[in-house]
Structure 1
Amino acid sequence: MGQLSTATLRTATPADASSLAALALEVWLSTYIRHGINAHFADFALAHFTPERFKSWIEDPDHRLIVSQNRDGIDGFIHIGRNSPDPVGGHIRTELTSLYIQPRHQGRGLGKALLDAALDQADHPVWLAVNCENTKARAFYKTQGFSKLGETAFRIGDKSYPNDVLMRQPL
């Protein structure tokens, strides 16, 4: 796991909300915005990744956020939501909402460590949606035992983007 030993995994607290919002903005923009930022994407990102939204998730018992913290701050997080039916059949009710690692900290085992920590006690299937063009994430989830359940579309305003819906049975 390389430098993972310098990171601590812990449950997010309300004091983490602004750090999580900033990290999510950084990761989302660096992952999906490859040709310049326009208002369509900027408006979505700034409305979605807010400290208030993260604080509400942290305080909601149906959501679990675990952070990876190094000596300087948070470098990654995972967000699991219960009572969130999958978009394919609606039978799987636990969603891996997001797994975000700062780009400069990727490749050190943080994603696997966060995923393992979040799913450690899972006794039921988990689903997630991943952009069809995000080959790096799709390959990661495949190595972690996820398989394709179906397809959905991620919508921003009047535009949609194809996503694969993946699922993993408990180990």
Structure 2
Amino acid sequence: MAFMTGNSDHTVIRPATTEDCSSLAALSIEVWLGTYLRNGISGHFADYVLSQYTTAHFAEALDSTAERLLVSQNRDGIDGYIRVSNGRPSPAGGPSRTEISTLYVQPRHHGRGNGARLLQAGLKLCRSNSWDAPWLTSNSENARARRFYLRNGFEHAGLTRFRIGQENYPNDILQYSAL
């Protein structure tokens, strides 16, 4: 995939490279903690985040033929990314085996269209690889994210639970209507 011009801030959407792995890990930790932990950081959540979002984790994803990562990059660095995973059936059932497993944009870059550009690039990637229309999960308490996906062609398809240790958290399953 070639560089695609973004907005007037010289943002481009491009495939992630191994050189991006540490930036992807740092961005993921920033977004995850800022989105889901509003009342302090417990060891339980810190251990989860630090074990999941590592440079090695992203290097493995880039080596997988079933994973694609695209980044939004401005003049100073990466400000968002989308991760699309093929071969992952939806917990809601149905024919789709393509998941948008992550779409993160740094909070200070919200409202600039980066998330929409990443989503559109991810959908284009699905089409060009002849993958299914994707599904995703969104924390049920994250109303802003759910509104974003519903505005961009996703429909509510069910409910699942995201587990961390012994705890679980409700997540909406959203399915893209059609490629």
TM range (shorter): over 0.9
Contact 2:13 2:73 in 1 (8 A): yes
The separation in 1 between residues aligned to 2:38 and 2:68, in whole angstroms, is 30
Deviations 1:102-134 (A, max 9, x none): 010111000000010110153432100000000
Deviation at 1:65, TM superposition (A): 0.3
- Give the aligned partner of residue 51 of structure 2: 47
Equivalent in the alignment of 2:74: 70
Report the counterpart of residue 18 of structure 1 in structure 2.
22
From 62, 86, 99, the equivalent of 1:82 is: 86
Distance in 1, matches of 2:74 and 2:125, equals 24
Q: Which residue of 1 aligns with 2:121?
A: 117
> 5 Å matches for 1:158-169?
158-169=166-177
Cα distance in 1, alignment partners of residues 40 and 106 from structure 2:
19
By how many angstroms is 1:88 displaced? 1.6
Q: Deviations over 1:59-112 (max 9, x none)?
A: 111001000111111000000000011112163100000100001011100000
- Give TM-score, length-normalised by structure 1: 0.95
Q: Does 1:127 align with 2:131?
A: no
Tell me if 1:108 matches 2:112.
yes
Assess if the C-alpha contact under 8 Å between 2:80 and 2:114 holds in 1: yes
Amino acid at match of 1:126: P
CA, structure 1 residues 106+52, in 2 after alignment: closer, same or farther (shift >3 Å)? same
Q: State the Cα distance separating 1:54 from its structure 2 match.
A: 0.5
CA distance, structure 2, for counterparts of residue 4 and residue 132 of structure 1:
33
- Total equivalences in the alignment: 170
Cα RMSD of the aligned pairs, angstroms, is 1.4
- Give TM-score scaled by structure 2 length: 0.91
Give the gaps of 5 or more residues in structure 1: none
Worse-superposed segment, 118-127 or 75-84: 118-127
Unmatched tracts of structure 2, length 5 or more: 1-5
Q: Would you say the 8 A contact 2:155–2:177 is kept in 1?
A: no
Structure 1 segments, 4+ long, off by >2 Å, are: 2-5, 121-124
2:161 paired residue number: 153
Q: Is the 8 A contact 1:4 1:108 kept in 2?
A: no
CA distance in 2, matches of 1:78, 1:127: 13
Highest relative contact order (Cα 8 Å, sep 6+), 1 or 2? 1
Match of 2:178 in 1: 170
Q: 1:14 touches 1:59 (CA, 8 Å); kept in 2? A: no
